[in-house]
Amino acid sequence: MTTTIQRARWKLLALCAAGLGAAAVLYAFEPTRHAFYPQCVLHRATGLACPGCGCLRALHQLSHGNVPGAFAHNPLLVVLLPVLGWLAVRGWLAEALGRQPPHAPMHPAWGWALFATTVVFAVARNLPFSWARWLGP
């Protein structure tokens, strides 16, 4: 019988492997030149840029150490990646080590700020102004 901790350890291992695999693919194949990458539903259907548009291109640039290039494709991702990455790893590590998840100390205002930022970003990058262009993919 597998315990909760064992399952959490396998989950952490699987996530690490998936992350490394995805990073390797993104490093090797540039999304603008290869057709096998998935396409965004929303963009295909409406032409709108969602908050995630440009993520793959940004990650490709990041994997080559080009932070400004990544920022040009998706600034939100470049800002959020270290924050969310740390939160996620912290939670999964706590699970794998059998500790209480360190959720409680985070003030809810941070969560709402994240939500509001995503919504505002989603709207702003579709506005037809020149200043909105640097938010776009």
Partner 1 sequence: MYKLIGADQKEYGPISPEQLREWIAQRRADAKTLALREGETSWRPLSSFPEFADILAQASAPTPPGLRPERPPTDYLVPAVLGTLCCCPPLGLVAMYYAVQCRTQSYYNDHQRARESARLAKIWFWVSLLLGIPFMILMTVLRFASMADQMPQ
- How crowded is the C-beta side of 84, counted as CA atoms within 13 Å? 9
Per CB under 8 A, does 1 bind partner 1? Answer: no
- Smallest distance from partner 1 to CB 98, Å: 12
Q: Using CB under 8 A, pick the residue from 93, 114, 124, 132 that binds partner 1.
A: 114
**Residue of 75, 86, 136 whose CA lies nearest to 110:** 86
3-state secondary structure 85-131: HHHHHHHHHHHHCCCCCCCCCCCHHHHHHHHHHHHHHHHHCCCCCHH
Q: Give the x-and-dash track for 39-78 against partner 1 (CB under 8 A).
A: xxxx-x-----xxx--x---------------------x-
Per CB under 8 A, does 122 bind partner 1? Answer: yes
Per CB under 8 A, does 100 bind partner 1? Answer: yes
Distance, C-alpha 131 to centroid of its chain: 24
Are the beta carbons of 12 and 96 closer than 8 angstroms?
Answer: yes
Q: How big is the CA angle at 10 (ends 38 and 56), to the nearest 5 degrees?
A: 20
Per CB under 8 A, does 37 bind partner 1? Answer: yes
Q: Using CB under 8 A, pick the residue from 47, 68, 107, 129 that binds partner 1.
A: 107
The residues of the shown chain that bind partner 1, judged by CB under 8 A, are 35-42, 44, 50-52, 55, 77, 80, 84, 87-88, 91, 100-101, 103-104, 106-108, 111-112, 114-115, 118-119, 122
